[in-house]
Every structure is written in C-alpha cells, then in structure tokens.
A and B are shown apart, each in its own frame.
Chain A
Amino acid sequence: MTNSIDEIAGADFILAIGTNTTETHPVIALQVKKAVRQGAKLAVIDPRVTKLAELADYHLQLNPGTDCALLNGLANVIIAEELWDKDFVAHRTEDFASFRQWVSGYTPQYVERVTGIPADVIYKLAREYAGAENAAILYTMGLTQHISGTANVHAVANLAMLCGQVGKKHSGVNPLRGQNNVQGACDMGALPDVLTGYQKVTSDEVRAKFARAWKVDTLPASAGLTVGEMMAGTQKGCIKAMYIVGENPVLSDANAGDVKEALQKLDFLVVQDIFLTETARLADVVLPAASFAEKEGTFTNTERRVQKVRKAIAPMGRARADWEIICLLAGAMGYTMNYQSPAEIMDEIASLTPSYGGISHARLEKGSLQWPCPNKDHPGTPVLHKEKFVRGRGKFHRAEYIPPQELPDQEYPLLLCTGRRLYHYHTGTMTLRTGALEKYYPGEYLDVNPIDARKWKLTPGCRVRVISRRGEVELVVRITDTIPPGMVFTSFHFPEVPINNLTNPAQDPIAKIPELKVCSVRLELL
C-alpha cells in the first residue's frame, strides 16, 4: 500500500476494485465502512454483489476481466473533460503525452461495449473520482489474478497519477495483500530476481555486497524461476529437487492437477510445514515446523508495517522453528549459519537492506515501524511517494485491455471465478482444524445465479460436477443473486473441492500471476 490502513476512513472517495474486503480483510473493511458512515462516496468494481457492493454508491458489475478497459475509460473521460490534476502531472510524472494519445481510444461508448457498464455511469464515476479531495483506491486479487494483471495494476496507477491522488494522506494506490507475511516474503527477497529490499540479482554491485556479507565467492547472477516456471521445469525434468516451506501448491496453484504430477516427478522433495498437507504427502522427507505461536520474529503487513511476533508456547513435540531448521540444514551442507535468535538475523537484514536499515527487534518492542525506515533514528514512512516517486517521476505505463484467455463458449458455457470466504483461509490447512470455524462453515458451495439455476435445472442443495478443460470437482449448489448470470463462484479452501484442478494456469507475461479469476466450465447434475 502506498498509504496506511487508518487513512482509509479519512478519504472522501473510495474506489474498491476486485476486493471482497469484508470477507478477505475484515478489519480493513471496518475503515471503509467508517468512511462511508462519515459521508465518503464508495464505488465498487466487482462482478459479484459483495457486502461492500451493497454499501456502495456505485456498484459497477462489469464483465469479468475487463477492469483495465473500465479504468482506461475513466481516465479518458477525465482527460477529455479537463478534470485532471495538471500541476501534479506536469511536475511529478512522465509520458503523459503518449498516455493521452493511446487512452483516447477508450471512449465511454467503446468501454460500455467491452465492460457492460453504461457510458453514463462511466462519465459520472470519472467526474466523482476526479473531483474528490482525497480518493483512495483499494484492490486485491480480483484485479491481479488475470493474464492482464500487470496492465490492470498500471491502469490503476495511471488513474491515480492523473488525478494527483498519490503521495498524500487518505489517497493512494493500495493493494491489500492476502497472507499475513506476503509483503515480508517479498521484501526479504524470497523472489527469483531480487535479494532483500528488491535489490536486483543481476546487479554486480548488489551481488558483490551480499557475497561479501555472506562470505561466499560468488552468487548466481541470472534471475531464477517463478513458481509456475518451477512446476513446468519439473515436468520437463530440469528441476530435480524441491524444498517447499509452508506452502501447499497442490491446492493453491492454478491447474493443480499438473502441479501434483510435476511434484511426483521430482527425484527428491522436502516439505517443511506444521501439518501433513496435500503437498507434504508427496514428499520424500517432511520436516515438522513450529507455528507462529511457537517462535519469535517479525511479520510485515500490507501497509509495510513491521511488527513483532512473540513466542507464547514451546513447539509441538520435536518440531522446530523454520529458522532453526534452515540453520541446521545449511550447517549440514558445510555452510555455517550461527544465529542466537531472530533478533540477530534482523540485524543482518538491516545491514544489507536500505529500506529496513533502521529496524531492529529492540525498536519494534516499543512499537511497529513502516518501511522505508533507513536508519535507527528514522520514524518510518506511513505515506509513500510524498515528494517524489522512488524512480523519480511517475511513469504513465501503456496498459491496453486484453480479454481473459479462456471465455465461455458452447462447450463450456459458464465462467468460473474463485475467491475466499470469511470463515476460511487459503487452502484450509489451519481454518479447517480450529474446532470452531469449520464447525460453522463446514463445506463448500458453488454459487449460481437463479437464472442459470433455472436454465440448468438446479435446485438449492443439489450436487453438480463442475468441469473445465483441465479437471473437475463435485460441489453442492447454492442459488444466489449475488452472482451475475453466466458466472459461478466458489473458494479454494477445501481439500475435498480442489477447485484449482480446473483453473487456468495462463499467466500474466510480466508478473507471472495465473488467471485464477476466470476460466470456463460446464455443469453436470449428479
């Protein structure tokens, strides 16, 4: 997030795109609801009628996967009607001239045809967004899990820059991250192309710095493989062994059937986790890890806030904290990792990572810090890009609309969208074992619109087989008009409903995010 969670309530206009916030980030949704109570306008862009959509002044139930066209349409109107922030664009951005030119093709009439949103709504929304004092944009996977994910994100940034809605309070471009430390995992360089703090592995200088600190002669210089590429590499036989820590790709990845097959091809698979997950079952060796309650450390939340995780109990049985296991393994492979505590590891992180430079466990004991926090006297940074963007000027990126890769046709006439439920989390490994959440929400449904229910002769509670080009699952039908006609929806929380056997692994070419939000399916009544 460019801004902080508590600033959302102070916005006068909130544009929420592809985020079912009340279920996926319930406590952030409290800020949105508060803003609405205080009179802010809320616009929700989502094909489904979410709780947030019910609260909204504008609910744009667009055709799935057409967000980019809609956002460009808004920018088009704002430019055509001279509503943009000329001062901000002149002083803080670049490539406006070309932006103006290519975005001119996104007339409200064209956008109406693509998105299904009436042109007059596009005009109205564009004027409201441009006229707002402080407008905040929120988005999640509904925007990014598309083959056009990167273009979608650029289109959002373009819109915010056009109206000068970045770099000040109560505004900004705010992706809400799904998992508790996904921000931190990225910051720490658990990515194939960057080390900590997004320092490029391809930079000689960066590698030299890390090699010196880590006391090794060289570090690999070319970017590694992403998850999707690893699985493909495994299929082809180039990847021989994998070490998977705390992830369950057999359920979470697109076209999960292939993932399982790929992992079975490995010569050697090590899985480190707190439960024997569907992925761990395939392993040659399973290492028992400590849960969050059993270790010290830090998590970084979606607003870049680094917070202290504290040990409350001892690890179960002979389980050990992940950091201790990694140290053991490194030692056995002839490389000494000798840390007394996670606090010591954080000191090393701070010494190598400018944005975490001022962060230490001792400081965090007194309160959290939002990065960038470059030195030990720096108070942290609640709002990013205040005086300038990290790269200097904000660039208007070309973000052309591309339709989803697989759309309904005669053979597979319905569009399947996947997401999350309030009572569950990710692949259900934790939430299905709480003694409470799974009692209240014990099984999954396929949400179907009444019109489609009539068409396919479905009754509430009947069982159907959902079939895509890649796989099939069985589900119980729930009939609800929160889903638009032509779409069906379910979650990926339940192992007995491995919905990602059906989803489309087609990826966004840059961010490599699979198109989990759109694929086509047909139903068979059981």
Chain B
Amino acid sequence: MSTITLTINGQQVTVPAGSTILKAAEKLGVFIPTLCHHPQLTAVASCRICVVEVTFKGRKKLVPACMTGAQDGMEVETESAAVVESRRTILELLLANHPQDCLTCGQNGDCRLQDYAFRYNVPGAGFSGERHAYKIEDDNPFIIRDMNKCILCGRCVRMCAEIQGDGVIDFAHRGFNTKISTAMDLPLSKSECVFCGNCAAVCPVGALQEKGLRSSARTWEVKKVKTICPYCGTGCSIELNVKDGRVVGVTSCDGEVNGPALCVKGRFGYGFIHHPDRLTTPLIKKNGRFVEASWEETISLVAEKLTGIKNDHGPDALAVLSSARCTNEENYLLQKFTRAVLGTNNIDHCARL
C-alpha cells in the first residue's frame, strides 16, 4: 500500500494514501474539532469547524480537515491564529441562534457546541439577530426534538439514510429557515420513523435527546456498562447508563454486530428493569394465595417436593423448561441439574416458538 508523509503542527506522520488530514491528525493524537463529521457516515464538510491551515506547494489556505486528502509534503497547522479566528466566527454564528439554556439542557456535559465554545472562549452570541421559535416536539415517549438547538450539521439525516436506511428526515427550506424535517414537516410520530433513536445517538448537541435518559441524569453522573441487548437474537451491544444503582437509560457504543445502531427495543425498552412489578422475594402459595418466604424455606420446600416426586414416580415424572433469555452459563447449569441431579432428560426451552 502506498503511503503519504506530511507534517502536522511540526510533527511528521505517515498514513495510507487516500487518508484525510483528520485521519492523519487522529493518528498523531492531535485534536481537531468536528460537528458534521462522523466516522461511519459520508463526509460533507458543511460545518467548517474542522478547518486547518495547510501550506502546500508554497501556498497557504484554510481547508476542512475531514474532507481534504493528505498529500506528501503538506504542512498542516491545526490551531494557527487564522484557524482559531475562523472557528470562533463559526461558533459565534451558531450560538447567535442557539438557546442558551445549558443549565437545564439534558445534553449539558456531552455537547460539542458547549465544549468548543469553552475551548475557543466564545462566551455567547457575538451577533444578535433573528432567532428560531420552533415548538419543541415531545409527543412521543422516546425522543425529544428541539429544532431550536439544531445546528444543521446533518448527521441525523445521514444516519437515517445511510445506516438506518429509512430516510425519514431531510433538509427543508433555505437560508435562515433551513430546517431538518420529515416529509410534510409532520412530527416523527406521524411519519415513517421507527424510533430507533440512531439519529439522537449522533446528534452532537441537544436537538435530539433520548427522553428518559436525558431527563433523569446529568450526563456526567452516569456510569456506562457495556453489555448485550436482552431482546432479539441479533446480539447488539448496548451501554447501560447507571446512576445511583439504577439503569436510567441505554446508549449505543461501537458494537461488534451493530456498530452505532440499535432498534427501538434495545435503545428504549429498558424500563422493565426497575418496574414495580419485579419479583423481589420468593413466594410460596398457601391456600391459593402467594405469601412471601425466605430463600431457605423456599429452597428446602422445592428440594423436598422434587425429591419426593422423584422417589415416588421416578425421575421422568419431572420436567424442566429452560430459557432462551438466560445466559449460557445458566442454561448449562440447568441442564446439568436436570440430568445429574433430577436424573431425567426432560429439559427443553421455547426455541421452537
């Protein structure tokens, strides 16, 4: 494979031909801010926040790092005065039309606009002008859509088209009125949207927020535990977001099967974990009613009953149903228990259903 060697902030780096400047910078661990760029989506270079200053063949210019190919002998400055100036202007323009309600925004702490405003010291609107006053869309139980916070990076549009493959949303109108919209500008709940939430997962600001998660924890309060979705057999990786011993939401990570994508069940179907109907104590039926019991009492009752029936009627009078929702280790133990302890092969599960 042919390679390319360039210099970034005075450091040399060699990357495969065809790499972008952004890729080369990542290899060096040099930070370049991005808004519209997402590694799994096509590059559009529309936000321009990733501009860098390139000197190549004696000419100097500002180019978007996400889309500009690295070339042999290029010299790149990622934080030159011209670059910083340009980024500050972009941020000022974005903030001029962005609600400054960070105190109560669910995305606070996990927002690129906030991070970059801090980094480049852009305190608030340098311009004052017309502001949007879109109605916040929260008529569905999954996603809150606040188009006033939208920075029109188009990540959600590309996510829905390129990974989810549904193309439910797109840019509509022009100029100041440009907006991300469903067909006929209907709410998501009236559109073809399937509420996978994949658009919300890639929104770099707070325009698309997971309703449950963002209203129950500040972004820095949660611990994320990577595990596997409890629903279908696809086996998507999910991150359980835990606060004070409670699962308050699910986010996607780069799963081996699913990449950044999930479906509505995997992303929004976690509420059963803490549902008040959860069983929390062993129950023994006495005179037709369940009464709470201790583990000791319950286990010895079950052991006694199963042993009694085995002795009176033989092991094949016992049968066990295992679960396609238990772990491998549990299924293994249950069939071991059935065969080695009960002494029967009467074990099955609902695989056929």
Contact call B346/A224, Cβ cutoff below 8 A: yes
CA distance in complex: A276, B277 (Å): 8
Contact call A431/B233, Cβ cutoff below 8 A: no
Contact call A27/B263, Cβ cutoff below 8 A: yes
Contact with B along A408-444 (1 / 0, CB 8 A): 0000000000000011110001110111110110000
CA distance in complex: A223, B231 (Å): 30
9 A/B residue pairs, CB under 8 Å, sorted by A: A190-B347, A253-B350, A254-B353, A291-B278, A292-B227, A342-B327, A434-B269, A440-B189, A513-B352
Contact call B320/A245, Cβ cutoff below 8 A: yes
Q: Does B328 contact A (CB under 8 A)?
A: yes
Task: State which residues 230-270 of B face A: CB under 8 Å.
Answer: 230-237, 240, 242, 245-247, 256-258, 261-266, 268-270
- Closest B residue to A288 using CB positions: B279
Task: State which residues 267-286 of A face B: CB under 8 Å.
Answer: 267-268, 270, 273-276, 280, 283-286
Q: Does B331 contact A (CB under 8 A)?
A: yes
Residues of A with C-beta under 8 A to B245:
313-314
Q: CB within 8 Å of A: which residues of B?
A: 140-142, 163-166, 189, 194-196, 211-212, 223, 225-237, 240, 242, 245-247, 256-258, 261-266, 268-275, 277-285, 290, 295, 298-303, 305-307, 309, 312-313, 315-337, 339-341, 343-353
CB distance from A181 to the nearest CB of B (A): 5
Contact call A238/B281, Cβ cutoff below 8 A: no
Contact call A238/B345, Cβ cutoff below 8 A: no
Q: Does A233 contact B (CB under 8 A)?
A: yes
Contact with B334, one of A190, A249, A333, A514 (Cβ below 8 angstroms):
A190
Q: Does A191 contact B (CB under 8 A)?
A: yes
Contact call B141/A26, Cβ cutoff below 8 A: no
Task: State which residues 166-212 of A face B: CB under 8 Å.
Answer: 176-193, 195-196, 201, 210
Residues of B with C-beta under 8 A to A321:
330
Contact with A188, one of B211, B225, B331 (Cβ below 8 angstroms):
B331
Contact with B306, one of A268, A274, A291, A325 (Cβ below 8 angstroms):
A268
CA distance in complex: A327, B303 (Å): 12
CB distance from A36 to the nearest CB of B (A): 8
- Assuming the contacts A286-B283, A288-B282, A367-B256, asked whether A431 and B269 have C-beta atoms less than 8 A apart, the reply is yes
CB distance from B224 to the nearest CB of A (A): 9
CA distance in complex: A201, B340 (Å): 12
- Assuming the contacts A179-B324, A286-B283, A313-B246, asked whether A423 and B331 have C-beta atoms less than 8 A apart, the reply is no
Contact with B233, one of A180, A189, A284, A327 (Cβ below 8 angstroms):
A180
Contact call B281/A181, Cβ cutoff below 8 A: no
Contact call A435/B141, Cβ cutoff below 8 A: yes
Q: Does A525 contact B (CB under 8 A)?
A: no
- Assuming the contacts A24-B232, A185-B331, A195-B339, asked whether A225 and B346 have C-beta atoms less than 8 A apart, the reply is yes
- Closest A residue to B280 using CB positions: A317
Q: Does A79 contact B (CB under 8 A)?
A: no
Contact call B336/A214, Cβ cutoff below 8 A: yes
Contact call A285/B283, Cβ cutoff below 8 A: yes
- Assuming the contacts A283-B285, A437-B265, asked whether A182 and B324 have C-beta atoms less than 8 A apart, the reply is yes
Residues of A with C-beta under 8 A to B290:
276, 286
- Interface residues on chain A, number (Cβ under 8 Å): 146
Contact call B225/A312, Cβ cutoff below 8 A: yes
Residues of A with C-beta under 8 A to B257:
5-6, 27, 301, 303, 305
Contact call A27/B261, Cβ cutoff below 8 A: yes
Q: Does A323 contact B (CB under 8 A)?
A: yes
Q: Does A230 contact B (CB under 8 A)?
A: yes
- Closest A residue to B323 using CB positions: A246
Contact call B345/A436, Cβ cutoff below 8 A: no
Q: Does A462 contact B (CB under 8 A)?
A: no
Q: Does A80 contact B (CB under 8 A)?
A: no
Contact call A293/B299, Cβ cutoff below 8 A: no
**Nearest 4 interchain pairs by C-beta:** A317-B280, A301-B235, A297-B327, A246-B323
- Closest A residue to B247 using CB positions: A293
CA distance in complex: A189, B340 (Å): 13
Contact call A291/B350, Cβ cutoff below 8 A: no
Contact with B along A308-320 (1 / 0, CB 8 A): 1111111011111
Contact with A329, one of B228, B332, B337, B351 (Cβ below 8 angstroms):
B337
CA distance in complex: A312, B248 (Å): 11
